[in-house]
Amino acid sequence: MARRFHFWTRAFILPVLIVVLATAFVVVAGGSTVVAQEPRDSAPSDEDLGPPAEVEVVSQGRVANLAPRPPLTEAQRQEWAGRLRRLYATAPEVWPAAVVDSSVTPVELGLLPEMPFPADNPYTPEKAELGKLLFFDPRLSGSGQIACATCHDPELGWGDNRSTSFGHDRQPLRRNAPSLLNVGHAKTLFWDGRAESLEAQALAVLVNRDEMRGDPEAIERAVEGVPEYRQRFQRVFGDVEVGFDEIAKALATYERTIVGERSPFDAFLKGRQEALSDSALIGLHLFRTQAGCMNCHHGPAFTDDAFHEMGLSNYGRRMEDLGRYRVSRDPADVGRFKTPSLRSVTSTKPYMHNGLFPLLGVLSMYNAGMPTRRPNPAQMEDPMFPRKSPLLKPLFLNDQDIDDLVAFLESLEEPLQRIRVAVP
């Protein structure tokens, strides 16, 4: 019973508590009053693309109204969904303009482009098949028990559905395992962006003492000791000897073939209007406008490939994670983490770099503007104290809005993949 309570504390009660505290801070700091809202008289107009009209900002930065905007009646929702179907029946480039912060230049949502392959590691089917075998082979780990697929399982959205993964000798790692779906489109890899290519990412994980703890020479010997691998390496690389760099190239080539293009949203983009329910369509519009999601999650991959401080670094506390700072050593990067793709997001729970939150918990925190930590007296002059992204602000969405956003995010989910590999 104690373990079950601890789980719900982390997965549900904690995010709710953060939301309550964050919202309370906004109310106190803004000196605002909550005013009850009258129901809408009609559905939103076609021009209703900006922030909710119910949020009125008055002089001295005081917010006159912090109440969520009123929900629509069922008749109003049907009318609104009909208007949105007309607006979104066109190509994405002529959709209503996205509503983002003035500092953001969004890239419109759309179908993923063809996967790029680097000039020094071009695609061949034989190389991808070799990489696939290696991806599922635990010989690449120091223990002989961990494969790449251990933390990136195709049946679990190419993650592992754990808060944080287990590494060498079953020790818990510090960060959540990101999904590898469409990973070949990413500009940098890992939550802190420390790898600039999939080849570098593969090498880093193989030799990391906390993760796979492999020794390059031992891995080469283990792979070369398998006749089928020797034959495949010779066909792919023209060299009988198995090299560590070639292993990384084969793994990276396979990972670039892990792509998704069969979600309901992709079908909608290809002209199947019925692929999105009314709720998902309303959620799409919210995503692009009032909810502010496209400040960070834009483009075909639903990510800006940038780093943001979300108020979750636990700076100065037991679970501190300085994020991007560990790579850049720039104090401005303390607590910043890479924006993950939202494609197939509903199959890659739990969420955030520490994997502590369920989907509704994350949406509730975003709705409240995420937690804002204030420095204590000893931290007032601390140049390392993290500063939350200015893109994060209270959204004043109601429960109906949250449900519609969830419906849209569910439309990004790919069909379940079951991959069976006979490792030689």
pLDDT tens digit sequence for 286-343: 999 999 999 999 999 999 999 999 999 999 988 999 999 999 999 999 999 999 999 9
419: nearest Cα among 267, 254, 265: 254
Question: Mean pLDDT, to the nearest integer, of 57-75?
Answer: 60
pLDDT higher at 27 or 223: 223
Question: What confidence score (pLDDT) does residue 38 get?
Answer: 40
pLDDT tens digit sequence for 385-401: 999 999 999 999 999 99
Map out the domains of the chain as residue ranges.
2-36+53-113+261-410, 125-255
- The answer to which of 38-52, 169-183, 331-345, 360-374 has the lowest mean pLDDT is 38-52
Q: Is 56 annotated in the active site?
A: no
Question: What confidence score (pLDDT) does residue 306 get?
Answer: 98
Question: Do strands 336-338 and 307-309 pair parallel, antiparallel, or not at all (unpaired)?
Answer: antiparallel
Rounded Cα gap, residues 28 and 47, in angstroms: 33
Q: Where are the strands (E) in 197-305, listed by range?
A: none
Considering 199, 211, 413, 414, which one is annotated as catalytic? 211
Q: How confident is the model at residue 408 (pLDDT cuts 50, 70, 90)?
A: very high
Q: How confident is the model at residue 18 (pLDDT cuts 50, 70, 90)?
A: very low
Q: Which CATH superfamily is domain 125-255 in?
A: Cytochrome c-like domain (1.10.760.10)
313: nearest Cα among 175, 189, 177: 175
pLDDT of 282 strictly over 50: yes
Task: Answer whether 288's CB lies under 8 Å from 99's CB.
Answer: yes
Q: How confident is the model at residue 14 (pLDDT cuts 50, 70, 90)?
A: very low
Task: Answer whether 183's CB lies under 8 Å from 198's CB.
Answer: yes
CA angle at 106 for the pair 102 and 107, rounded to the nearest 5°: 165
Question: Mean pLDDT, to the nearest integer, of 29-46?
Answer: 40
Q: The whole model's pTM is what?
A: 0.86
Intra-chain end-to-end CA distance of the chain, in Å: 44
Task: Answer whether 151's CB lies under 8 Å from 160's CB.
Answer: yes
CB atoms within 10 A of CB 67: 14
Q: How confident is the model at residue 66 (pLDDT cuts 50, 70, 90)?
A: low
Q: How confident is the model at residue 46 (pLDDT cuts 50, 70, 90)?
A: very low
Question: Mean pLDDT, to the nearest integer, of 72-89?
Answer: 95
CA angle at 185 for the pair 184 and 190, rounded to the nearest 5°: 70
Name the helix (H) or strand (E) containing 196: none
Question: What confidence score (pLDDT) does residue 45 get?
Answer: 52
Name the helix (H) or strand (E) containing 327: helix 325-328
pLDDT of 255 strictly over 60: yes
Question: What confidence score (pLDDT) does residue 36 get?
Answer: 33
Taken as a whole, the chain contains a residue count of: 424
pLDDT of 235 strictly over 60: yes
Question: What confidence score (pLDDT) does residue 43 get?
Answer: 52
pLDDT of 24 strictly over 50: no
Q: How confident is the model at residue 122 (pLDDT cuts 50, 70, 90)?
A: very high
pLDDT higher at 18 or 176: 176
76 bridge partner residues:
none
Question: What confidence score (pLDDT) does residue 318 get?
Answer: 87
Highest average pLDDT, of 11-20, 39-48, 130-139, comes from 130-139
pLDDT of 108 strictly over 90: yes
Question: What confidence score (pLDDT) does residue 37 get?
Answer: 37
Question: What confidence score (pLDDT) does residue 388 get?
Answer: 95
307 bridge partner residues:
338
Question: pLDDT averaged over the chain?
Answer: 87
200: nearest Cα among 182, 188, 214, 212: 188
Task: Answer whether 176's CB lies under 8 Å from 351's CB.
Answer: yes
CATH classification (class only), 2-36+53-113+261-410 = mainly alpha
